[in-house]
Structure 1
Amino acid sequence: MKKYKYYLAAFCAFFIWGFFSLALKPISSYPSLDILFYRVFFSVLTMTAINLVFRRKSIRKNWNDFTEMPSKRKRNIIVLTLVGAMILASNWFIFIYVVNHVSVKAGSLAYLICPILTTVFAFFLLHEKLSKWQWLAVSISVISCTLLSINHFQDIFYSLAVAATYALYLVSQRKNSEIDKFLVLNIQLLFVALLILPFYPRYSGVIPTEPLFYTCLLCIVVFFTIIPLFLNLYALKGINSSTVGILMYINPIINFCLAIFYFKEQVTLLQMVSYSLILVSIIVFNKKIIFGKKHKSQTIVEDSKSK
């Protein structure tokens, strides 16, 4: 029962992210780098304010825990936090560019490929074990993504870049679990903000004045950055990277539906078949979770009857 809250956190994170394009598309006329600048800066200000006002006890506790750790573990936490920050910033920039200047479908394809890469990275880097059913789900995913990439080389190229960066972020943060996740995320965004701040005066455009830009930015910061990232990092405390990776499929399925029904992007029969295979792979991968409780209940009933 205790683990279900981690599954719920991961599900909610990717469900929310599925609607990200609704906040990005209205400001597609702005340069991707500008959107990244403001997203990072506003996220840092918001998270820092929350931590300093409401979470001072948590900060002190985490600092005390950190100072008592062995030097080697301290170095590992620092490296994982800072490297994760740079990977996350890269992922944000590429994803913003893809959704605004390539297509919403390309963005959704990225997060179709991402679970496969996350599973593979976790298998080789973290030595996470997968069952035969889970490998079957990965194989189905590979087939579906291969079908989706036919005659869409540009889409698959950008999608791979988005997928690889986020998969690496997930896997790296799985090992970075000893410090409070909200605080880690705050430190990561603060580090990114300090890195990109010197480039802001030279590479940013004119300061936006439209209320629409700041309304969308507020939604991006709160609903599509802080809340889902925290839920995602929280989920990694209780479930492995492979499972989080497969649950990521919720995001592109919603994205794909928005691309068709809201943004009116064209879709082929091949793409519909591929997305149907994705749904099958999710069920197969999570077979134990979906059907395990029912099977267990039936077993208990049968045992009680035999007595």
Structure 2
Amino acid sequence: MKIQDSTWIRRYLTYLNVERGLSLNTRRSYERDLKKLYSFLKVKSKSFENCDGDDLSLFLLEEKKQGRSARTLARYLATMRGFFSFLLSERVRSDDPTEYLSTPKLEQNLPYVLSEQVMDKLLDSTPRSITQDIKRENDIETGNKSKSLALELRDQAILEILYSCGLRVSELTGLSLKDLTLDTGYLRCRGKGDKERIVPLGEPAEQALQNYLHEARGHLLGRQTSEFLFLNSRGGELSRQGVWEILKKRAKRQGIKNNVYPHLMRHSFATHMLDHGADLRSVQEMLGHVDISTTQIYTHVSRQHLIDVFRKSHPRAE
């Protein structure tokens, strides 16, 4: 009996989960791409079993006409290569229709980073002693004011960890209490493909975490229980969108005009580490990159920084 194309998509997603250990977000991305290809082939009265390289080329061409970037087209092709390789291994096909398709040439866009001065401004906490304010407010009332102070401590800890550790936002929101080892100054996080790594904590990040854990987390948690490290205002799991909002709010309050978002903290972490002499392999390890070529882009950012400084500072640079 012939198996439907939609079933093969489900089987492939199961394979990516069980055999490859890919994250849910990555699997969803593959699923979206394959469903789009499935719809295209269906209009052409084709299927995953009988389509050929020309059909796949037409699909990519159609997507390009609709304004898809070279990066998106390259992702579509990577998705198709993995999927048809799977179909080949399952003996659904005897050939690979992606064999002669070429990957679109990608422009190397250097990541935008914050300067160290702007980062210091972003991380600058309010001048008053938030911890003492929380203690005083908790003695007087349990209203909105004390909760807002608890959120301040939480936000400070989040900002410090994002910059100190270079975490992805999904890694940050996935942290649990058992991932912390503050007495030795590091935390454990799970990255892409559920790969675990150990990341050291800087002293400001460690102190911000201590303040949050001792003075704020219990206030947000209330009578609930949760293993998640960072909580929202209702004591539940903090979402990725919630982290975005925290950064936007802090940047606006500090008068920072730059577009600040979680991955920008990661870019800035890597670039500033290299600017201060960190070796590429160590930065790769801390970022959790499988391929060092992914980390190497930050050396270009660091080099560009030196060029900019030279051009602005040397009297005969121009």
Normalising by structure 1, what TM-score?
0.24
- Structure with bigger gyration radius: 2
RCO comparison, higher one (Cα < 8 Å, 6+): 1
Normalized per residue, the structure richer in helix is 1
Normalising by structure 2, what TM-score?
0.23
